[in-house]
């Protein structure tokens, strides 16, 4: 049996009724997430934003692992800060759903693969904080918002020795794609920083001694077809979910 893998949705206004209808939301996840899960041995299932605690628990009763997908900025109120000028799009309902879901996933020790926004949600769910804008707050920051297509890798990431991610990939450095202007600032106490870019920005977090709790700041769902490290990460996640 293929493990059932939940993929969290983001949402936008629009769809068949048109963008003029500001109350008409459309849940979505880019299809690369589902393709990466499917071709790595899992069965993808989308999780819409509209949930409550009871429905989250019921959904997780039926799933074997979770992908926290990319999306808008996490509202700074959830990590105790006021908004700064370069804060981007927000969706507090999405924040509440993903934070609640993440905490339940962690309580149950379900395999969790948190991608881009996902690593930020993982960190905030456990009490960590974020840089609201890398360029404004990190001295000597690299360009983390690439203009190249999603499948193109644009900068190098250093992996910490003896980490899960370094062990899985059997490498000390990899090249990654990059499309984010926020990043982990103070990691939650439970999480270990296991990769950084050349400017010091956190690129991976792990919770040691868990079945599989990994957050990455890049987008392996965009590179898994041609990039061996991306493919290995998805396969390791699906293997943990099926174990």
The residue ranges of every structural domain in the chain are 4-242
pLDDT digits (tens, 9 = 90+) for 103-117: 999 999 999 999 999
Q: Is the dihedral of CA 171, 175, 180, 182 positive or negative?
A: positive
Q: Is 221 noted as a catalytic residue in this protein?
A: yes
The backbone torsions φ and ψ at residue 158, rounded to the nearest 5 degrees and listed phi first, read -95, 130
Question: Is position 219 annotated as part of the catalytic site?
Answer: yes
pLDDT digit string (tens) for 30-80?
999 999 999 999 999 999 999 999 999 999 999 999 999 999 999 999 999
CB 160 within 8 A of CB 168: no
Query: Is the separation of the CB atoms in 126 and 75 below 8 Å?
Result: no
Does 116 qualify as catalytic in the annotation? yes
H helix or E strand, kind and range, residue 228: helix 228-242
Contacts of 223 (CB under 8 A, 6+ apart): 150, 151, 153, 176, 177, 230
List the catalytic residue out of 32, 98, 116, 180: 116
pLDDT of residue 24: 75
Fold of 4-242: Rossmann fold (3.40.50)
Q: Give residue 3's pLDDT.
A: 98
pTM assigned to the model: 0.96
What residues pair up with 208 in beta bridges, in sequence order? none
């Amino acid at each position: 049996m293929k493990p059932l893998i939940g993929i969290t949705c983001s949402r936008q206004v629009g769809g068949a009724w048109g963008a003029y209808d500001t109350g008409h939301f459309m849940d979505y996840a880019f299809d690369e997430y589902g393709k990466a899960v499917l071709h790595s041995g899992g069965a993808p299932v989308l999780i819409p934003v509209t949930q409550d605690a009871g429905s989250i628990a019921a959904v997780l009763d039926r799933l074997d692992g979770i992908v926290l997908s990319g999306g808008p900025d996490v509202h700074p109120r959830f990590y105790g800060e006021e908004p700064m000028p370069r804060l981007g799009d927000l969706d507090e309902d999405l924040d509440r759903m993903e934070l609640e879901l993440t905490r339940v996933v962690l309580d149950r020790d379900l395999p969790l693969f948190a991608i881009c926004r996902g690593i930020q949600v993982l960190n905030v769910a456990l009490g960590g904080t974020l840089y609201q804008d890398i360029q404004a707050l990190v001295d000597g920051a690299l360009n983390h918002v690439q203009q190249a297509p999603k499948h193109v890798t644009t900068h190098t990431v250093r992996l910490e020795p003896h980490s899960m991610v370094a062990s899985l990939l059997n490498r000390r450095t990899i090249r990654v794609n990059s499309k984010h202007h926020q990043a982990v600032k103070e990691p939650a106490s439970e999480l270990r920083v296991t990769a950084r870019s050349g400017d010091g920005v956190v690129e991976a977090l792990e919770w040691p001694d868990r079945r599989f709790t990994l957050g990455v700041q890049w987008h392996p769902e965009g590179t898994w077809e041609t990039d061996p490290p991306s493919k290995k990460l998805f396969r390791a996640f699906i293997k943990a979910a099926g174990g």
